[in-house]
């Protein structure tokens, strides 16, 4: 394998050296990372879904909210805007996986993330099976996620060309109490209702 590193460039900002590789407009990878929100930063964000026009009625993916990629993967094309703090108004574009032709892993990860976005947005414990919590997690449409505010844990990933970029793949949820106690069961809550059909999409 021949190495095609291009020309060696010294970054005028940070003085580190890097190779242009094949890029016509090379940019310093060190500075690119420094311009990003640091990995594992927790910030309150609003979620906006950019509709992709893809529907799958059987999954409950309606109203053209989902997107379909060239590889056959279904996902939500998301724009997260930081609401306050040091990174206020910064936007992060990342995807939430719904289904991948390669297997269940991606879709399961996306499903868990969506569940935690809802838990975080409403301040409910992941283990909370109260009627109210169940109601929140029961999406009538993926559109229900649009506009939700939640606490995100921001990470650094790579875009299609390998450049570092911010991503949101985790929601910060309330820590479970060490000994989880069943909440006082309200008279209206029966066991049957607690095991009611799973939420439309989270099933």
Q: Which two tokens stand for residue 37?
A: 């929100």
CA 152 to CA 87: how far, in whole Å?
12
| Residue 17 C-beta: closest distance to Zn ion, Å | 9
Region of 21-29, 70-78, 114-122, 156-164 interacting with Zn ion (CB under 5 A): 21-29
Residue selected from 5, 10, 14, 56 as contacting Zn ion according to rule CB under 5 A: 14
* Strand partners of residue 100: 103
* Strand partners of residue 18: 9
Q: Cβ distance 113 to 169 under 8 Å? A: yes
| Residue 94 C-beta: closest distance to Zn ion, Å | 24
The pair phi, psi for residue 81, each rounded to 5°, is -115, 125
Residue 11 vs 156, nearer CB to Zn ion: 11
Residue 28 vs 76, nearer CB to Zn ion: 28
Q: Which two tokens stand for residue 127?
A: 């283990």
Q: Which two tokens stand for residue 10?
A: 């010294």
Region of 25-33, 40-48, 59-67, 195-203 interacting with Zn ion (CB under 5 A): 25-33
Residue numbers 27-46 binding Zn ion by CB under 5 A: 28, 30-31
| Residue 34 C-beta: closest distance to Zn ion, Å | 7
Residue 12 vs 187, nearer CB to Zn ion: 12
Q: Cβ distance 106 to 69 under 8 Å? A: no
Binding site residues, Zn ion, CB under 5 A:
11, 13-14, 28, 30-31
């Amino acid at each position: 394998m021949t190495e095609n590193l291009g020309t060696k460039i010294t970054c005028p900002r940070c003085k580190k050296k890097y190779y242009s590789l094949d890029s016509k407009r090379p940019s310093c990878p060190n500075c690119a990372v420094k311009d990003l929100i640091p990995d594992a930063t927790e910030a309150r964000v609003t979620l906006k879904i950019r509709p992709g026009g893809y529907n799958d009625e059987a999954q409950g993916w309606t109203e053209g909210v989902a997107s379909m990629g060239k590889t056959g993967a279904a996902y939500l094309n998301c724009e997260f805007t930081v609401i306050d703090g040091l990174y206020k108004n910064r936007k992060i574009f990342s995807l939430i996986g719904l289904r991948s032709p390669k297997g269940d892993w991606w879709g399961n990860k996306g499903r868990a993330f969506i569940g935690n976005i809802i838990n975080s947005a409403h301040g409910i414990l992941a283990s909370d099976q109260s009627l109210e919590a169940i109601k929140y997690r029961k999406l009538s449409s993926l559109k229900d996620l649009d506009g939700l505010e939640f606490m995100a844990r921001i990470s650094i990933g790579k875009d299609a060309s390998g450049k570092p970029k911010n991503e949101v793949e985790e929601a910060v949820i309330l820590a479970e109490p060490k000994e989880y106690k069943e909440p006082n069961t309200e008279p209206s809550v029966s066991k049957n209702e607690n095991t009611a059909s799973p939420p439309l999409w989270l099933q």
